[in-house]
Chain A
Amino acid sequence: MLKVDGLRKVYRSGSREVEALRDLTFTVEAGELVCLVGPSGCGKTTLLRCIAGLLDPTGGEVRVDGSPVAGPPPGMAVVFQEYGRSLYPWMSVRDNVELPLRQKRMPRSRRRELVAGALAAVGLDGTESAYPWQLSGGMQQRVAIARAVAYEPTILLMDEPFAAVDAQTRADLEDLVRSLWRRLGVTILFVTHDIDEAVYLGERVLMLSASPTIVQDELTVDLPAERDQLHTRADPRFTAQRAHVYAQIQAAKAGGPRTGTASGAAGELSSADR
């Protein structure tokens, strides 16, 4: 489905070179919900921009459904962290959600249907004619999610989407993402710096090292599909896995990247942990 193979990104400015991503290899299967977590400044956004086709990697490649990514692939939607800057302030909520569909040359009736369905799915019916800046931060991010949902993507990329909303809104939005994922069967790659969020949301968690980035470790989350804020977070398995991810991130911060780590071996380590 989504295959990242030996991805490397070096930023050059004049004679200075900064290696942001060293060697990233991982796969996300169709219909999976995978969380990418790493210390701050580890190049998560760079990675996401490479996958989305917004940035050309220095080496390696990204494949979506077998074809290499050169420019934004069709059927991929992105939700950015900065909701205030990713919605068009001169368009109503409806037009914001509808614009990508118009670009797909969809008939009007079908567009209306998708827009209404997506807004209802994120709990925003009745706000169609408001401007984004008339809504709260959490609602604005819901609009961005509705836009992605209406687009009917096969892959949904989310770049720290809830980093700028308050804690309660954040819990609501996390549950929204889980329920949308289960209902729509879309593949989701969710980037975050929040360890709790990664374990709570993901079926699998990929831990990244500090920059220059490699995949530090991988964890298949052992939690039931039905999750809720109260019980899941109190589950001993949740706390144990959270502690494991935490330790890995701390190690990544302290020791820098471990060289030559294969993600397969790390995956076994995490299952032994439980």
Chain B
Amino acid sequence: MIKRLLLVLGLPVVLFTTWYAASANSENFYAPPLRQIMVAFADTWTPGRLRADVLPSLARLGAGYLLAAVLGIAIGVAIGVNPRLRAAAEPVLEFFRAVPPPVLVPVIMLFAGIGNGMKVIVIVTGCIWPVLLNTVEGVRATDGVLSDTTRAYGITGAARLRHLVLPSASPQIFAGLRQALSIAIILMVISEMFAASNGLGFTIVQFQRSFAIPEMWSGIILLGLLGFLLSVLFRLVERSTLAWYHGLRDSRRRS
């Protein structure tokens, strides 16, 4: 237990102290000492600031991510269970997936303006693809024997989706959701950098433009912490939802 804790904390501590020591006497205006950044962090990210700038960012992120997850899984299941639809849709999907999402921001701004809607749409258009494509793959890989069993017992339609298709695809779906989460964070920041009046991305750009360099760095650190927290949260949800899958894999590995 203690050994694991040391292993987990070791590298972050080393990196932190290295940065702290190396920057301690820094004269460079753009790379201030970490000490100074930490002071700026405490001064900048007050509860009021968190409510005014971080909360809107998180709300957009949450809305966009959830929407992308629901749409991606729904469309992915529809395509996955229907071979003809899949044959028609697959090349198009690969094309959209290959378009880097940030280039869509200016285009979407033209249609959706610069409000919250635009930012949510940007996040959705960026992170729907890994969810959708992984869902298609997961649904396609439904086991034939299990599928026969389900049919033989007269389980069809919605019950089949709920008890067979979705759970059997869930490991793949979660892989897609994990990729989508990091894309969603990136797009949240980028969409706010283009045009916004609040939000984390907006604030960081503001600091940079007004040469408030320690504050800018503190914003970047906050972003990193947020991303870390979200991924821990994600892993907790995944652990409990896919407990059966990890157990199954371990039991196969042992035998």
Contact = CB atoms under 8 A, between A and B. Distances in A.
Nearest to B160: A103
Contact of B248 (A78, A89, A102): A89
A151 B146 contact: no
Contacts of B248: 89, 131, 133
B244 A131 contact: yes
B66 to A, nearest CB: 23
Interface in A184-240: none
B89 interface: no
B153 A103 contact: yes
Contacts of B152: 52-54, 72, 76-78
Contacts of A104: 154
B175 interface: no
Interface in B124-177: 143-146, 148-149, 151-155, 159, 163-164, 167-168, 170
Interface string A102-126: 1110000000000000000000000
A74 interface: yes
Contacts of A253: none
Given A82-B145, A85-B143, A99 B155 contact: yes
A37 B210 CA distance: 85
A46 to B, nearest CB: 13
B251 to A, nearest CB: 5
A224 to B, nearest CB: 33
Interface residues of B, number: 23
Interface in A228-265: none
A58 interface: no
Contacts of B244: 89-90, 131, 133
B48 interface: no
Nearest to A157: B152
B143 A100 contact: no
A26 interface: no
Q: Chain A CB within 10 Å — which of B152, B247, B248 has the most? A: B152
A139 to B, nearest CB: 13
B251 A86 contact: no
B153 A88 contact: no
Interface residues of A, number: 26
A80 B151 contact: no
Contact of A80 (B145, B163, B170, B251): B145
A100 B155 contact: yes
A100 B154 contact: yes
Contact of B148 (A54, A74, A90): A54
A88 B163 contact: yes
Given A103-B153, A133-B247, A49 B148 contact: yes
A72 B154 CA distance: 7
B207 interface: no
Contacts of B45: none
Interface string A130-169: 0101100000000000000001000000000000000000
B247 A88 contact: no
Given A86-B145, A88-B146, A133 B251 contact: yes
A74 B151 contact: no
Nearest to A99: B163
Contacts of A54: 148, 151-152
A191 to B, nearest CB: 14
A76 B148 CA distance: 13
B245 interface: yes
A53 B152 CA distance: 8
B151 A72 contact: yes
B167 A100 contact: no
Contact of A85 (B145, B151, B163, B251): B145
Contact of A151 (B148, B153, B245, B247): B153
A268 to B, nearest CB: 35
B163 A134 contact: no
A80 B252 CA distance: 20
A129 to B, nearest CB: 13
The 10 A-B pairs with the shortest beta carbon distances in the complex, nearest first, are A100-B153, A85-B145, A90-B244, A90-B167, A78-B152, A86-B149, A133-B251, A133-B248, A89-B248, A72-B152
26 contacts: A49-B148, A54-B152, A72-B151, A72-B153, A76-B152, A77-B152, A78-B149, A78-B152, A80-B145, A80-B149, A85-B146, A86-B145, A89-B245, A90-B167, A90-B170, A90-B244, A90-B245, A91-B163, A99-B163, A102-B159, A103-B153, A103-B154, A103-B155, A131-B248, A133-B247, A134-B247
Interface of B: 143-146, 148-149, 151-155, 159, 163-164, 167-168, 170, 244-245, 247-248, 251-252
Given A54-B148, A90-B167, A90-B168, 14 more contacts: A72-B152, A76-B152, A78-B149, A85-B143, A86-B148, A86-B149, A90-B245, A100-B153, A100-B154, A100-B155, A103-B153, A103-B155, A133-B244, A133-B248
